[in-house]
Amino acid sequence: MKNIGDWGHEYIRQLEKEIIQQWSFTCDTNIKMLMPLINDIINFNCNHHAEIQACDLLMEIDLLHMLSQYMAKNTYQRMCMYLSSCSKYVDEMERTKIMKLTCEQYLKFHEYSRSLIAAIQMNDNEMVNKIFSICKDRSTFYCPK
């Protein structure tokens, strides 16, 4: 099948549920077979205003790092805001992954202030310094000398 979206949103949601249910029982061979389907699902969701479902699927199967390749200029704000909200309800290790992704995406799309907030929430001094060095607009971060 070339376009899984032809079957509609409900079909995609059912596939997501089945993938999540079976993920922990899946061996490496089956994971490799599922990856094209997962990529198709994430791509469909990100192009059809279902970015939150894409985030949820990737968080559930612990492949959140894949999300960065699907974030676009018109979707990253909504996705980052959702991920930041989710970070409050997970353990510290998962929270760090989520906030790092959020910080990097804000930085990628030149939202230095939001990226800085995420870096401060992670207590990542190295990232804070990096953001200050990357941002060349003095009006964004006013620091009197």
Residue from 11, 73, 61, 59 nearest 35 by CA: 61
Number of domains in the chain: 1
SS3 8: coil
Scored b (16 or more CB within 10 A) or e, 116-145 reads bbbbeebebeebbebbeeebeeeeeeeeee
Is 63 a domain residue? yes
Is 12 a domain residue? yes
Express each pLDDT in 48-87 by its tens digit. 999 999 999 999 999 999 999 999 999 999 999 999 999 9
79 or 6: which leads in pLDDT: 79
Is 92 a domain residue? no
Is 64 a domain residue? yes
Q: What pLDDT is stored for residue 22 in this prediction?
A: 87
Is 104 a domain residue? no
Q: If pLDDT is split at 50, 70 and 90, which confidence band does 141 have?
A: low
Burial of 82 (0-12, 13-18, 19+ CB in 10 A): middle
| Segments forming the whole domain that contains residue 26 | 1-70
pTM for the structure as a whole: 0.86
Q: What pLDDT is stored for residue 145 in this prediction?
A: 47
Is 38 a domain residue? yes
Q: Of 105-109, 122-126, 140-144, give the lowest mean pLDDT range.
A: 140-144
